[in-house]
A and B are shown apart, each in its own frame.
Chain A
């Protein structure tokens, strides 16, 4: 079935792409573009539900809602990975900030001692 190849390949390619590129302008642009495509697809499926079924048949899925579920699973995996990476980056920055404050506090305490 085409859908299996499509799903597995999209997960693998997506994960590899996420891990091998630097977060930045072009990645953000592609992510946003994918978001728009998804939104357009969602709108199309509302306007013409038959389209989803046609698309499902095209890739070898029996029913339209199944295709939607599969696509959502892929989207969920991506979102989870992106959020996880963003969280790690934030934690790294938080650590740098806390560290800078701890060291500044120590310097202030040392100055205080010298003055006394």
Chain B
């Protein structure tokens, strides 16, 4: 048996919630490069789990819907507890990301030996992003820079590569969408080394329809504030 390649030593975690129409394609594309794909089905009411399994993914199923942050944490727990993978990729199920970007980021993580590689749409290119979303993301970026103090060029980008140390430092408590801010603050808290890598985002009609509403930014702010106040307890 030959030494496993970096891609064979990587597990891709795909949080999935009612993505039956898309998740099969996404998993199939991922599996062309990454043999180990884990879908965390977050209590979907459609056939997401079957579609993912049919495309060759391992499916972990939350019996109830918890949120994307919780699904990611389940993925991290699985990778840390049940596999010997060196790296874990977080990848969205709605087809916004390119597998080629994930592969390039794994290669960067292995070659540079940083703990976490974050995708950045601002270093790369973004197709079809609505103007309102662009304005919102710019504001979110300024906010997150001032909170975490690390100079990222993008925030809340779902494409990331973590090594085992980074995955073990996560322990996400934000079950909703605020987990992305939480991941950034863990980078500071656990002194993780990080890099950014340009990624291309494909905002399709499907992903726009499936994605978060801009108003959800308010919920993220609220969750973060509640967490911060409660942190002293």
- List residues of B (59-118) whose CB comes within 8 Å of A's CBs: 59-64, 66, 70, 73-74, 77-78, 81-82
- Cβ of B82: which chain A residues have Cβ within 8 Å of it? 103, 106-107, 110
B74-A19 in contact (CB<8A): no
Asked if A49 is at the interface (CB within 8 A of a chain B CB), the reply is: no
With A92-B173, A103-B77: A19-B230 Cβ-Cβ less than 8 Å? yes
B63-A22 in contact (CB<8A): no
A109 to B226, CA, bound (A): 38
With A19-B233, A95-B66: A103-B173 Cβ-Cβ less than 8 Å? no
A84-B226 in contact (CB<8A): yes
CB distance from A35 to the nearest CB of B (A): 21
Among A98, A107, A110, the residue within 8 A (CB) of B64 is: A98
A22-B233 in contact (CB<8A): yes
A103-B175 in contact (CB<8A): no
Q: How many A-B residue pairs have CB under 8 A?
A: 60
CB distance from B66 to the nearest CB of A (A): 5
Among B59, B66, B232, the residue within 8 A (CB) of A98 is: B66
Q: Is the interface of A mostly helix, strand, loop or mixed?
A: helix
A105-B226 in contact (CB<8A): no
CB distance from A111 to the nearest CB of B (A): 12
Asked if A115 is at the interface (CB within 8 A of a chain B CB), the reply is: no
A106-B60 in contact (CB<8A): yes
Asked if A54 is at the interface (CB within 8 A of a chain B CB), the reply is: no
B233-A95 in contact (CB<8A): no
Asked if B40 is at the interface (CB within 8 A of a chain A CB), the reply is: yes
Query: Which residues of A are interface residues toward B (Cβ below 8 A)?
Result: 19-23, 84-85, 88, 91-92, 94-95, 98-99, 101-103, 105-107, 109-110
The 8 closest A-B pairs by CB, nearest first: A102-B60, A98-B62, A99-B74, A95-B70, A106-B60, A95-B66, A102-B74, A102-B62
